[in-house]
Amino acid sequence: MSDVVRRAVVIGGGIAGLSAAWEFHRAGWTVDVYEASDRWGGKILTSPVGDEPGAPMVDAGPDAVLMRAEAGRELVEQLGLTDEMTHPIAPKPAYLFLDGRLHVLPGGTVLGVPVDPLALEHTDLISEAGRDRAARDLTMPPGDLADDVTIGSLCRERLGDELTDRLIDPLVGGINASDIDRLSLRAAAPLLAEAMTEHGSLIRGLGKMYPQIGAALGGDRDESGDHGNRPVKRPPVFFSLSGGVGRIIERLTEELPATGLHLGHPIRALNEIPDPTTVDAIVVATPARVVAGLIGDVPAVRAHLADLPYAGVSQATVIIPGQPPLDAAGILFPRVGGTMLTASTWLSSKWPHYRADDQALIRLTSGRYGDDRTARMDDATLTATLLGELDQAVPLVAEPSAVRIQRWPSALPQYEPGHLDRVAEVRADLVRHHPRIRLAGAAYDGIGIPACIAGGRQAARELLA
């Protein structure tokens, strides 16, 4: 073993790049992180809503991290943030706006698939015919899933169009700012793929994989007959931090040696890396099109990353004075409804750290792949349009006292069928051409924060090894 200190370079200072840097740092390597913009965090941003002194600092990108995935919890613990962890205020209903009215999002479902036979009994979101059609999944032959398909094609075949359009697409397509008729089953909904391959049915498979969800409905059911988000005690699904998700970025950049943190320093070609002869390992953690420019000498990188599609999102976060007009975690606006608004997140009802009884803090999200209508609007038109659409669902009695606009152009990679095979090909080709370079970030193994953390750390571990 040599005691020479090794040097790693990380390109891109979002959560994936900083997680890779954290891994190198913990192993005793020197690490330089180069970030093109003037702030750390990439899509993670906690910023003020309004210009007043003391304006609330609110998440403008992700506001929730999945508990189930270990990578997020582990990093929070290592950064000493466990005491700042918060969970959604339970139980708050979530709604869907369709047919001109609100429907409580039915409980007893996983990704919109009813795992409890009673899940859809008490909602008029899905007709009786739609429920019967979905139940055919239980008696249909398993089918052949040898090739990757779209989430939509599988769900339409197994469960019918009604459930697919009115429940599954708003949930699964919504998270990806996409529609499920273009997203890869294996890459964007691995749970559904697992249910089919392991159990031959979506309803039966997810029911076996999540017995507590069916059991919660069948056993610990409240007596109100409300089969929406009923008050059943379950471990929280998400966490955040009392200072917002941006606290993770703050702590990472506090822990990493300041001499290695370079803001406003884009790297567009490998020969732009300072002191290249001293570099032992490189992690590229930028969006895909930047990777294609950086290491375009690798054929699979050029072929598969240069044109990886991304969806853009435009948001208005508003403070509405007075009592919140709805006590909800949020409202989804399904694609079939035709609105520009895709979701409204009622942050002050959802999270304890944003809780307020005298005002509503609401984040309005628009934009999905193929729908960039709001991206072309000026800020005032965007705000008025999104508030107007929200007003159709929940009449708002007051004008906002503060507004924050956040544009995220090309923010969310779209995993199309065959994505995982293409990523495997890219990685294999990269190792052949550049054994000391690895890739990390939302373009590869999952867009969620835990997946990006795990990907960054794994990239660094491979190079450390």
Ligand X SMILES: Cc1cc2nc3c(=O)[nH]c(=O)nc-3n(C[C@H](O)[C@H](O)[C@H](O)COP(=O)(O)OP(=O)(O)OC[C@H]3O[C@@H](n4cnc5c(N)ncnc54)[C@H](O)[C@@H]3O)c2cc1C
In the complex, least distance from residue 325 CB atom to ligand X, rounded to whole angstroms: 24
Token duo for residue 138? 């239980």
Tokens 């708050």 correspond to: 92
Q: Which of 8, 13, 23, 332 binds ligand X (CB under 6 A)?
A: 13
Q: Which of 21, 22, 29, 62 binds ligand X (CB under 6 A)?
A: 62
Cβ-based nearer residue to ligand X, 125 or 294: 294
- φ, ψ for residue 320, nearest 5 deg: -105, 115
Residue 11 interacting with ligand X (CB under 6 A): yes
Instruction: Find the angle CA(270)-CA(250)-CA(274) to the nearest 5 degrees.
Output: 20
Largest CA distance in the chain: 70
Cβ-based nearer residue to ligand X, 37 or 153: 37
Token duo for residue 49? 């809503």
Interacting stretch for ligand X, rule CB under 6 A, among 227-235, 249-257, 327-335, 444-452? 444-452
Tokens 């965090």 correspond to: 41
Residue 65 interacting with ligand X (CB under 6 A): yes
Residue 35 interacting with ligand X (CB under 6 A): yes
Residue 63 interacting with ligand X (CB under 6 A): yes
- Positions in 282-311 near ligand X (CB under 6 A): 285-287, 290
Cβ-based nearer residue to ligand X, 36 or 85: 36
Instruction: Find the angle CA(122)-CA(123)-CA(124) to the nearest 5 degrees.
Output: 125
Q: Which of 22, 24, 29, 34 binds ligand X (CB under 6 A)?
A: 34
Interacting stretch for ligand X, rule CB under 6 A, among 35-43, 144-152, 212-220, 330-338? 35-43
- Positions in 340-379 near ligand X (CB under 6 A): none
Interacting stretch for ligand X, rule CB under 6 A, among 7-15, 106-114, 138-146, 184-192? 7-15
- Positions in 222-281 near ligand X (CB under 6 A): 266-268
Residues making contact with ligand X (CB under 6 A):
11-17, 34-37, 42-44, 61-65, 266-268, 285-287, 290, 313, 408, 411-412, 441-442, 447-449, 452
